C-alpha cells in the first residue's frame, strides 16, 4: 500500500470515529477517495510486479497464487476394507489410524527402558 493510500485509510477511520455514521457526507467523500487511492496503489503494485518479472519471478508467482480461487482438497478416501469415505470426520479418523502406525511413542519406550534398568539395579 502506498503512503498516500495508507493516509487515506487512517483519515477514513478518524472521520468514522468522529461522526459514527457511514452516510455522513464527510465520510462518504473520504470513502470514495480512499477507494480510488487503494485502486491506484494496487494497480501500481501489480504494474511493478509485471515490469520486474524477469528478475523477480518468485514475488510475481506468489502474488498470482494468492489470487487463485481454486484450492486443492482431499477427496474421498478408501479404508482398508475397500469402503469409500467422504465425510470430514471419517477421513480424519482414517488418516489418524494410518499415521498412528507410522509414529511410535518415544516417551513410553524410554519409560520402559528406565523401569528395566531400575529392576536390574534392585
Query: What average pLDDT does this structure show over 98-109?
Result: 71
Percentage of the chain with pLDDT > 70? 94
- Split into its structural domains, the chain has a count of 2
Residues 60 and 84 placed together within one structural domain of the fold: no
Residues 26 and 56 placed together within one structural domain of the fold: yes
- 72 found inside a domain: no
Q: For residue 45, which of 19, 63, 22, 71 has the smallest C-alpha distance?
A: 63
Residues 61 and 101 placed together within one structural domain of the fold: no
Residues 14 and 61 placed together within one structural domain of the fold: yes
What does the mean pLDDT of the chain come to?
Answer: 85
Cβ neighbors of 90 (< 8 A, separation 6 or more) are none
Q: Quick check: 104 pLDDT over 70?
A: no
Percentage of the chain with pLDDT > 90? 39
Q: Quick check: 111 pLDDT over 70?
A: yes
Residues 56 and 13 placed together within one structural domain of the fold: yes
Range of the domain at 105: 77-121
Place of cell 482431499: 74
User: What local confidence, expressed as pLDDT, does residue 113 receive?
Assistant: 79
* pLDDT tens for each residue of 25-77: 999 999 999 999 999 999 999 999 999 989 989 999 899 888 887 777 777 88
- 103 found inside a domain: yes
Residue scoring higher pLDDT (78 or 62):
62
Residues 46 and 83 placed together within one structural domain of the fold: no
Q: Quick check: 116 pLDDT over 90?
A: no
Instruction: Report how far residue 50's alpha carbon sits from residue 44's, in angstroms, rounded to the nearest whole number.
Output: 10
Residues 21 and 55 placed together within one structural domain of the fold: yes
Amino acid at each position: 500500500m502506498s503512503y498516500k493510500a495508507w493516509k487515506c485509510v487512517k483519515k477514513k477511520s478518524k472521520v468514522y470515529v468522529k461522526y459514527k455514521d457511514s452516510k455522513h457526507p464527510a465520510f462518504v467523500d473520504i470513502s470514495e477517495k480512499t477507494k480510488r487511492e487503494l485502486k491506484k496503489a494496487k494497480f501500481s503494485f501489480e504494474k511493478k510486479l509485471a515490469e520486474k518479472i524477469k528478475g523477480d519471478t518468485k514475488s510475481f508467482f506468489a502474488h498470482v497464487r494468492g489470487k487463485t480461487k481454486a484450492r486443492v482438497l482431499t477427496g474421498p478416501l478408501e479404508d482398508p476394507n475397500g469402503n469409500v469415505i467422504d465425510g470430514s470426520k471419517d477421513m480424519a479418523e482414517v488418516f489418524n489410524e494410518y499415521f498412528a502406525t507410522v509414529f511410535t511413542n518415544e516417551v513410553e519406550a524410554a519409560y520402559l527402558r528406565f523401569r528395566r534398568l531400575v529392576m536390574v539395579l534392585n
